[in-house]
Amino acid sequence: MEKTEILVVDGDTTSSREMADWFGETYEVLWASTEAEGLDLARTTRPALMLVNHALPSSSGFDFLEHLKQNPRLRDIPIIFVFDQKEVEQEALALDLGVADTITKPYHPRLLARRVSNVVSREMLRTELGRREAEWRAMLNAVPDLMFRLDRRGTYLSVFARNPELLKRPKRQLLSRNVKDVLPPEAAEMTLAAIAEAAESGASYGREIELRLPDGNHWFELSMARADVGQEAEPTFILLSRDITLRKRAELEITRLARQDALTGLPNRGYFIELSERSLAMAQRCNVGLALLYIDLDKFKPINDTHGHQTGDLVLKEAALRMRSGLRSSDTVGSMGGDEFMILLTDVESAESAFQVAEKVRGRLEEPILVDGKSLDLSCSVGIALYPDHAPTFQGLSHCADLAMYAAKREGRNAVKVFEAETSEP
């Protein structure tokens, strides 16, 4: 087995043979009698420990210590300062300067062996802890997630962030603060719920929170684990918060594209039906009325055929803008495809109020549309169906509004008709 090297720097060589005998099985004892020899040997061997006499030929052990500390490679070598006689003040000074221990001659073999063993073991432990710390830090630096240690109440105990820009507040403002003081209420409650689940079952995964940061909204996925602690210690929890903003934005964009008409930006048929059915359920609970308007652009096909699809697309976009501009935020316009649209009016008191809104839409669409210097004429036919008067479901309302719209077309187009069972059937 390879022996651990110890360097003794001492002008008195009388104990060198004895020391070699005492440590021969465990340590390799190197000897230098002057400061210069000691520094040379330290540089070439970098021993695990040095015993340095405080009184060296032509210099002092304190000078040696000062020169050693100037070398970055040698400054961490532990040193036991040796005194030829008891000198309390000098021993205290040596300890203040960072030596690991002191000992006074004459050496007692067992005492010297114990102190050497203690210092070497301590240094080995320090080196190992430093190595492990470096490994853990390298691992943490490889993790893109934010990492927090929290107590059961949600107080921040420690914070690790490779990217501090993702923190809701700077690290120093998080420590000892509660999540309720830092996060928005919904995000704080979500975090506390994850802690509660982890306290009960050991871990919690999959919860998502949204935070507003200086560069915009970010979404984070939370993974919480209860830390293993002694039975008497209060449990703590390790929280990994992963930035899933890019994934979330992609999901939202996919959802938007699935729900939105690509040309006009309006809800498409499927999403409009979904929104309408939600509004119908709410209207039923609140006992209020709704109106469904079915709109067909009367003169769109000639425009499209004469001026081309690009012009037709611009006309459809303008028509969508005009329909939206005259409505309340609670009302919804949807694209049914081509030149057909629907409008859902909420909280409608009467057929007359729905008719007035439809007339306003018709009037806006009747105004000429300017495209590439050309003034294009457009009009629309609008059919109205009322909930609950005409039908209780979206399918029924859609059928009634469609019949009313065709009745408007039969009467010369560019008109608004409210559904009437007796006159709407073709």
Give the residue numbers annotated as catalytic, written as ranges.
339
The string of DSSP letters for 208-234 reads EEEEEETTEEEEEEEEEEEPP--TTSP
What residues contact 355, with CB distance under 8 A and at least 6 apart?
A: 384, 416, 418
Closest to 227 in 3D by CA, of 157, 172, 180: 157
Question: How many CB atoms within 10 Å of residue 410?
Answer: 14
User: Distances in Å between the alpha carbon of 416 and those of 19, 62, 356, 413, 420?
Assistant: 112, 103, 9, 8, 12
Please state, in angstroms and rounded to a whole number, the distance separating the CA atoms of residues 240 and 140: 11
Identify residue 260 by its one-letter amino acid code: Q
Helix ranges (H only) for 229-299 are: 245-259, 269-286
The string of DSSP letters for 90-118 reads HHHHHHHTT-SEEEESSPPHHHHHHHHHH
Residues in the chain: 426
Helix then strand then coil, % of the chain, to nearest 5:
45, 25, 30
Please state, in angstroms and rounded to a whole number, the distance separating the CA atoms of residues 415 and 405: 9
Q: Are 140 and 162 in contact (CB under 8 A)?
A: yes
Q: Are 275 and 342 in contact (CB under 8 A)?
A: no
For residue 63, give the H/E element and its range: helix 61-69
Please state, in angstroms and rounded to a whole number, the distance separating the CA atoms of residues 370 and 373: 6
Beta strand spans in 44-93 (E): 49-53, 55-56, 59-60, 79-83
Q: Are 383 and 407 in contact (CB under 8 A)?
A: yes
Instruction: Tell me whether residue 26 is exposed, middle or buried, using C-beta atoms within 10 angstroms of its C-beta: 0 to 12, 13 to 18, 19 or more.
Output: middle
